Structure 1
Amino acid sequence: MNLALLKEFFAGFLRNRHLGRHFKRLALLETLPQSEFGRTLPPQLTQHLVKAARLNNDELLKSLQSHSDGLSEPQADLVRRRVGYNEVEHEKPLHWRVHLWQCYRNPFNLLLTLLAIVSFLTHDMKATTVISTMIVLSTLLRFWQEAKSNKAADALKAMVSNTATVSRRDVTEDAAEVFEQFYGAKIQAKSARREEVPIKLLVPGDLLILSAGDMIPADCRVLSAKDLFVSQAAMTGESLPVEKFAAQRDASTINPLELDNILFMGTNVVSGAATAVVLSTGNRTYFGALASRVTATDRAPTSFQTGVNKVSWVLIRFMLIMAPLVLFINGFTKHDWMEALLFAMSIAVGLTPEMLPMIVTSTLAKGAVFLSRKKVIVKRLDAIQNFGAMDVLCTDKTGTLTQDKIFLARHVDVWGEEADEVLEMAYLNSYYQTGLKNLLDVAVLEHADVHRELNPARNYRKVDEIPFDFNRRRMSVVVSEREDHHELITKGAVEEVLSVCTHVRHGEGVEPLSQALLDRIRQVTGDLNEEGLRVVAVAAKEMPPRRENYGIADESGLTLIGYVAFLDPPKESTAPALEALAAHGVAVKVLTGDNELVTAKICREVGLEQRGVLMGGEIERMNDAELAKAVEDNNVFAKLTPAHKERIVRMLKGNGHVVGFMGDGINDAPALRAADIGISVDTAVDIAKEAADIILLEKSLMVLEEGVLEGRRTFANMLKYIKLTASSNFGNVFSVLVASAFIPFLPMLPMHLLVQNLLYDISQIAVPFDLVDDEMLTKPLTWQPAEIGRFMLYFGPLSSVFDIITFLMMWFVFGANSPEHQTLFQSGWFVMGLLTQTLIVHMIRTPKLPFIQSRAATPLIVMTGIIMAVGIFLPMGPLAHYFKLQALPPLYFALTALIVVGYMALTQAVKGYYARRFGWN
């Protein structure tokens, strides 16, 4: 047997398409060595990007047959017909022939194929037929189940919206006539508009409107930009975002990744805003060219895959020890080395869980379909098991613990008195900003009466904008009021706005910002926070109308005008959801950028007991050892940056926790990637949805509880199959060793072992649909390879005890004690082995008393009943001669019933002892 092949299989079979090959763009980029970038790309692609970077806007648009207002819909359709959809090669499903081959090419099927060939060459057509049936059944079942789960997964993922904002050009009547003459197709005149277009429908020449949080959906050239910072870390390894401009500053640059005005598919906008034109889509992009070279590159194994690999190697070690032992014992005692070889190979097959890939796929697919009914979309199937293993859930506050329906509750001056001027300034700031509009902006803009009074379109003109970023935690707009002066209006977190203020507004006058005023400000904002209000400071300064461009340096010397305070009440479902998660062993930790007072009040209202609050500033001063302890001692973390969230998640993982993170903002993306299971919502920004493993169509913690429970059911059924197969097969092989040493003929023919194994495998098809005891769902479930080995050693020999009793019964009671009567002996053990192997499913599936305290699902009961009936029919029916079996006397079945009852009683007793000593995972 090829040990390297086996190791490669177990390291890789769970990373095949049915589990892990729905690659995320960023995940694939992260697998590439950064040194490979730019070296192996087609020269024409590099030349295309460099040329596009050097052209001016008009020349570039002309070369793409586009326009400053973008493409019209008919133009986009024509281009799409020519270049295809915006999809990279690895995202396409496997051709059915390739998929079928992948389902076949595993060591188990290769071993069976070898055995079938040997049987054919030795003219044993019956064994050849049985073995071939096993190969076909295993391959087709896996192929059918994976195709079904892939189809379901694709349908579910299609429910998650991934769109880009595109500018669609006006089509006038004159242009429509020209278009018809030139292209021979009729179009209708349409008005100019912006619209959300599915990313796969983008074409070269489309004009994109980009803002913070957007994924770059294709290779693009920037046409205009304002403080545009793009994260290229997944592509280049740069830890800091890179600023992009509309013009290429260094004309001699030839490395595409160093171009100032080129954006690459798979990167994301961190802050700022831009208009860009699509240069290339799909496989023609920089990413597409890389992906076509590394489609065979797999992601690092997840904790789920690692767990299965370890368990599989436990089984392999048993197989590599037991199969040679059987070979040599039978070869030396029976002196028929060919028969001994076939028998040993049958033993090897019997020890390997050849249905494991199919069982894993079907259990995970069943879980995904179940969760879809709960409005949970699973992007990566093995994330379901991580759901069940999760013992710490980190979650943002806004929209998760709270209703995500923010409304403006107060607008007050520095002294806490109602002030309309504060609302007007906040309105202008929200109205004119083009970056990431959050729920606070939406709440401000809902005040239509303010809009009517201010009449921005008539009285104000936007001059410039200084976009929001998560370090400054503020954003500014510059407006011109009737062209007589410029007004810079800043809105943001209180401390960050105060850091650039030198004065405060007091009535009609202005006072210098003193320590006494600072104390008063903190008291007023603190009082608002304790009411559960989120406070945003508003500041401004007037400037002469001398220039049109402003930057962060201009955010200085501001005058504090006042505050707008928002209320985001907690959800009614939050408190029971937190209680349910705690009851199931999942600790909830709140990670938020908001301040500690608002967070504390929300936590009190939803019943989340605070065990210490840690601030972002304190985290900055901690080394890893200190933070690793602090994340265990605290469960509320406030005023965090994206880097803080990611670091907390990594520390929790380093402490041995399986960590889930739930977030929907651009600031959550690093933590989503770092977590064992990233959870986002369909309304999240693009980068958050791209980084997540699970997408919720409904933002609710109650849905998470359902996911946790389903993850545990899925894992429990997978573990059930492995335990059943490992212990049962080990017991059978141990019995074979005993029988081979003392019986002058083979206790079962290789074909008998294979048929028995085939029938047992068929009975296990129903395991994914089995019920799971409620007690098994109360705590996180994790892989414990050592426990699998211990379980085998405890329960495997139990069956051997009763196998030996069966040997003695056949030898002494029925006289099957010579080679002439070996068929009777083999028939007796064949039936007994199949009955006990099948019934043990009901014994080991639960620590409770089977059939009485815990009943299996109907499909499993029906399937095991059918297989037991088939097992009895084979020696008793007309096919007995074909399988080299013979009819058994009535007394055999009476004694067999006693042996089976004794076996079940002893197994139940050992179960109780085992559960008390080791627990029942």
Structure 2
Amino acid sequence: MTALVIPYPARSAAETARALRTDVSNGLSGAEVSERLARDGPNTLAKAAPASALKILLHQFQSLMVALLIAAGGVALALGERVEAGAILVVILLNAAIGFVTEWKAAAALDGLRKQAVSLARVVRDGRDHQVETADLVAGDVVLLSEGDRVHADGRVVEQARLQVDEAALTGESLPVAKSADPVLDTGAALGDRTSMVHRSTAVTAGRGRFIVTATGPRTEIGRIGTLIAGVAAHGTPLEAKLAELSRALLVIVLALCLVIILVGWLRGNALLYMVEVGISLAVAAVPEGLLAVTTMTLAIGMQRMARMNALVRRLPAVESLGSTTVICTDKTGTLTRNEMTVRAYDVAAGRYEVTGAGYAAAGEFTRDGNAVDIGHDEPLGLALRIGALCNDARVDRSGEVATALGDPTEAALIVAAEKAELELADLARAYPRIAEIPFDSDTKLMVTVHATPEGTHVAYVKGAPAEVLKASVLVLGAGGTASSSQTDRARIEAANEALGSSALRVLGLAHRVLPDGFVEADLTRDLTFVGLVGSTDPLRDGVKATIATCRAAGIRTVMITGDQEATAAEIARQLDLDVGPDGTAFKTVHSRDLAGLDDAGWLAVVADAAVFARVSPEHKLRIVDALQRRGNVVAMTGDGVNDAPALRKADIGIAMGIRGTEVAKDAADMVITDDDFATIVGAVEQGRVIVSNILRFIHYLFSCNLAEIVTMFAAVMIGWPMPLGVMQILWLNLVTDIFPAMALALEPSDPDVMARPPRDPEQPLMTPAFAWLIVWQGLLLAGCTLAAFAVGMEWYGVGEEGLRHAVTIAFMTLAMTQVVHAFSARSRRRSAFTANLFTNAWLWGATAACIGLQLAAVYVPLLRQVLHTVPLTMADWGVVGLGALTPFVVIELVKFGQAWVRPAG
């Protein structure tokens, strides 16, 4: 085995850097290398820290609704209404506390996922090995690598022995890349083709080596991608934008109503101070104090539900974005696939054998034409399995709960295939001990190991690129034994290779040679006997095809964006039905070369009918997401690699993988799938839709109830009646009957057909004309019943001080009970309350009981009677209250019943 040579055995980091300026080249001139080293400093690429507590807290106060509440509280305080001002302050602090705690917990939980950061590196300084903090690496350091290490910086490989690096996190390629000390002189070489360079955040899967650091921090490839991320501006979610728009409209309405009522009342001869107080009460009634609290709670509850489903949301308002998602852009490696190579087929003399099972679990069987086969009676297949297992430097680690590959995933898959045939690697190694080897070479594309046999001879086992193995073979192991390789044999092998390759399998050729006595190295790669082919694949995740079908039924388009080859990506898309739209439209596969030089119009056109983008760069991903967004889509982007991070930040919601995902990807994402299961996204999308529906439910409830309060007060003033509600009674209604039922509506379970409906139009405002009309007529109905009850109270008890207090209590209780009952109607705009779902929301029944209990306390507890200015009610009074509360419910349900005749319930 070749010994490693330390190229700079006794030099300091500074001396090494000076040597590097003339000795290292990767397509750069000496001057360019010098400039790069001179300007590059210590590694400054740091993971994004969670939002600080102060930042989260301040975020909770950045709301138009909160500003209105503060203003209303200030006016109330100026008028001496300290109790009212204090109550408003409590609501503000409660809302801020809820948002702070939930977002802080989300940020803290995300810290638990930061498991892939490497803090120490082995370097050679002053001729000795040292362990240093990764952040302390500088350009010119000599860093040692061994199997399983993370690469800590970008650098030039100077020595290597079978060094292979998994660059999937950076390039999207699922197979490890063999590294070489030979310079790559092509200055335009793609990142994946720079075989003489290693890059930060990649992982060593096999071999060992040394490299000299050429870049740290922002000068690394990850740092360059980080610059792209920093250039993508943060954005709000669709719900945030729509609530802000709704808040602005509400502010205009509130100010207009207050000015009108103050002006009209003053012109009618009322005292100005009295009318100012009336205006304040209308402002308090118009501002739905419960909106922010319930919105925050709805999002927090949705976040908790998603967390139980292994979807961790980093930013609270981002929970709802999935509900409006129209396109999911997903990486392939590790997202749609398991990132675990699995042998699927062997093609040997007797024909093609299929191999069942997936991943690194030794569970599966060999079949031919659908029938199980006995491996012990098939010598060619047994020989192929033995070659694959012994011409191999990987191993499978089963010490944990899940088996993992140590080394090349393809080689690990060959070991697992042998285990499925009950061939144990340890037994094979004892029977055929390795005595020599030729490591895999990217030029010859072959790997050779030499073994002693039980018969006392020596045999060379060879695996590699099928064309190269076939070229070195003069014999073929056929059904009748070994024979000279004929043109017919070669044509059959080439056809089998093409057939396996077209099935998206990575194909290796297998061969052997019984060596002569006194063999030399040249004997190991000539006069071989071709044994067969083995095809392996990175298997699809369990259930991913069904997940994509569910998304399609929900009107969500899935687009695969990968760094893989076009043919492989297209085949994966075919297997997943990604290339077919819901209406049968054929989507196409686009190679990165087709994206070169596209203008804005070209990008808009290409994303319209593409199912797959292959061999793309991080810049391409950004442009794809941007073009989809400019076509009016709400885009979710899933990914796990550093190369996904800019697109994750750009997307409306970025979804990172928690186990295999890099720190950069997690920090750029809005949500982390902690089990790396693409199917988890289905549940997240459903919860996103449920959240949007529940937000609309409590907006419907809050706005119709608050409109009823406004109309009740406004109509009474315009008619010339006394005020039917006191200011504290209005605030009580907003705090009690608004918040509790609205919070219960936020816990409404999912509708059975929630994933059978198309996404909500991202351009559609929350308050559509139809929705606004629904709120208006139902609010007027509630107000009408309240005013009628108030009129009855004035008729029964008069308008003197005590009589008016009795009438106001009747109106207060009528409006409160009307709102409580109205919550059941607000569960659905079209579906009747009297369905099988009537008892599915236990929280709503609990909120109803709580509201009734508090309303009874408001008229029967002396302290509350004093604060709210109420009186105990008689049985006749309760009859008026009950009739007023039930009338709107009956009318609304009759309207739903009529609508059911012309359109389906929903």
TM-score normalised by L of structure 2 = 0.65
Match of 1:387 in 2: 322
**Conserved? CA contact 2:166–2:204, under 8 Å:** yes
Match of 2:699 in 1: 722
Q: Deviations over 1:430-450 (max 9, x none)?
A: 879xx9976435435768599
Query: Which range is displaced more, 888-897 or 414-423?
Result: 414-423
The 2-side partners of 1:780 and 1:208 are apart by 53
Match of 2:841 in 1: 857
Match of 2:885 in 1: 900
Match of 2:505 in 1: 534
Match of 1:507 in 2: 474
Distance 1:277 1:119, change over 3 A: farther
Q: Deviations over 1:574-626 (max 9, x none)?
A: 45444544444444455553526743663479999985352334971796657
Q: Deviations over 1:541-588 (max 9, x none)?
A: xxxxxxxxxxxxxxxxxxx99975214555553454445444444444
Matched residue SS, 2:855: helix
Q: 2:858 aligns with which of 865, 874, 890?
A: 874
Residues 670-709 of structure 1 aligned to structure 2 (within 5 Å):
671-686=647-662, 687-709=664-686
Provide the identity percentage. 20
**Conserved? CA contact 2:637–2:654, under 8 Å:** yes
One-letter amino acid of the counterpart of residue 739, structure 1: A
Matched, 1:884 2:904: no
Distance 1:715 1:629, change over 3 A: same
Distance 1:118 1:392, change over 3 A: closer
In the TM superposition, what is the alpha-carbon distance from 1:766 to its structure 2 partner?
A: 3.6
In the TM superposition, what is the alpha-carbon distance from 1:814 to its structure 2 partner?
A: 3.5
One-letter amino acid of the counterpart of residue 845, structure 2: I
Match of 2:594 in 1: 620
Q: 1:831 aligns with which of 787, 800, 813?
A: 813
Q: 2:894 aligns with which of 883, 890, 909?
A: 909
Matched, 1:711 2:683: no
One-letter amino acid of the counterpart of residue 86, structure 2: S
The 1-side partners of 2:541 and 2:169 are apart by 37
**Conserved? CA contact 1:734–1:800, under 8 Å:** yes
In the TM superposition, what is the alpha-carbon distance from 1:853 to its structure 2 partner?
A: 3.7
Q: Deviations over 1:791-818 (max 9, x none)?
A: 2332333332443344344335633664
Matched residue SS, 1:745: coil
Match of 1:138 in 2: 92
Matched residue SS, 2:866: coil
Q: 1:769 aligns with which of 747, 765, 772?
A: 747
Distance 1:338 1:596, change over 3 A: same
Q: How many residues align?
A: 746
Q: Deviations over 1:21-68 (max 9, x none)?
A: xxxxxxxxxxxxxxxxxxxxxxxxxxxxxxx996646999xxxxxxxx
Q: 1:573 aligns with which of 543, 568, 571?
A: 543
One-letter amino acid of the counterpart of residue 655, structure 1: R
Matched, 1:204 2:141: no
Match of 2:366 in 1: none
Match of 1:94 in 2: 53
In the TM superposition, what is the alpha-carbon distance from 1:119 to its structure 2 partner?
A: 3.9
Structure 2: give runs of 5+ residues left out of the alignment.
1-11, 21-41, 171-180, 184-195, 353-379, 396-404, 419-424, 451-461, 477-486, 512-529
Matched, 1:779 2:751: no
In the TM superposition, what is the alpha-carbon distance from 1:897 to its structure 2 partner?
A: 1.5
**Conserved? CA contact 1:392–1:587, under 8 Å:** yes
The 1-side partners of 2:168 and 2:336 are apart by 29
Distance 1:213 1:570, change over 3 A: same
The 1-side partners of 2:293 and 2:544 are apart by 38
The 2-side partners of 1:315 and 1:830 are apart by 24
One-letter amino acid of the counterpart of residue 246, structure 2: V
Matched, 1:328 2:328: no
Matched, 1:751 2:751: no
**Conserved? CA contact 1:727–1:793, under 8 Å:** no
In the TM superposition, what is the alpha-carbon distance from 1:759 to its structure 2 partner?
A: 1.9
**Conserved? CA contact 2:469–2:509, under 8 Å:** no
**Conserved? CA contact 2:119–2:134, under 8 Å:** no
Matched residue SS, 1:814: helix
One-letter amino acid of the counterpart of residue 354, structure 1: E
RMSD of aligned residue pairs (Cα, Å): 6.1
Matched residue SS, 1:616: strand
In the TM superposition, what is the alpha-carbon distance from 1:669 to its structure 2 partner?
A: 4.9
Q: Deviations over 1:117-136 (max 9, x none)?
A: 444444x4xx3113302321
Distance 1:222 1:382, change over 3 A: farther
Match of 1:792 in 2: 772
Matched residue SS, 1:507: strand
Q: Deviations over 1:456-512 (max 9, x none)?
A: 9x745879989xxxxxxxx9799999xxxxxxx9988x9xxx9xx999556389xxx
Match of 1:659 in 2: 635
Distance 1:389 1:209, change over 3 A: farther
The 2-side partners of 1:646 and 1:914 are apart by 46
One-letter amino acid of the counterpart of residue 528, structure 1: L
**Conserved? CA contact 1:209–1:276, under 8 Å:** yes
In the TM superposition, what is the alpha-carbon distance from 1:741 to its structure 2 partner?
A: 0.8
Q: Deviations over 1:863-894 (max 9, x none)?
A: 23222332343244423233233344432221
Query: Which range is displaced more, 331-340 or 814-823?
Result: 814-823
Distance 1:603 1:883, change over 3 A: closer
TM-score normalised by L of structure 1 = 0.64
One-letter amino acid of the counterpart of residue 751, structure 2: D
**Conserved? CA contact 1:414–1:563, under 8 Å:** no
The 1-side partners of 2:496 and 2:884 are apart by 81
**Conserved? CA contact 1:376–1:703, under 8 Å:** yes
One-letter amino acid of the counterpart of residue 146, structure 1: F
One-letter amino acid of the counterpart of residue 376, structure 1: A
Match of 1:355 in 2: 290
The 1-side partners of 2:216 and 2:105 are apart by 25
The 2-side partners of 1:918 and 1:663 are apart by 41
One-letter amino acid of the counterpart of residue 902, structure 1: T
The 2-side partners of 1:627 and 1:166 are apart by 43
In the TM superposition, what is the alpha-carbon distance from 1:717 to its structure 2 partner?
A: 1.9
The 1-side partners of 2:858 and 2:198 are apart by 68
Residues 538-557 of structure 1 aligned to structure 2 (within 5 Å):
none
**Conserved? CA contact 1:231–1:270, under 8 Å:** no
The 2-side partners of 1:263 and 1:507 are apart by 38
The 1-side partners of 2:214 and 2:87 are apart by 53
One-letter amino acid of the counterpart of residue 535, structure 2: A
The 1-side partners of 2:578 and 2:778 are apart by 55
**Conserved? CA contact 1:680–1:692, under 8 Å:** yes
In the TM superposition, what is the alpha-carbon distance from 1:156 to its structure 2 partner?
A: 5.0
The 2-side partners of 1:415 and 1:769 are apart by 62
Distance 1:442 1:129, change over 3 A: same
**Conserved? CA contact 1:843–1:850, under 8 Å:** yes
The 2-side partners of 1:334 and 1:772 are apart by 54
Distance 1:891 1:315, change over 3 A: same
Match of 1:162 in 2: 116
**Conserved? CA contact 2:145–2:204, under 8 Å:** no
Match of 1:641 in 2: 616
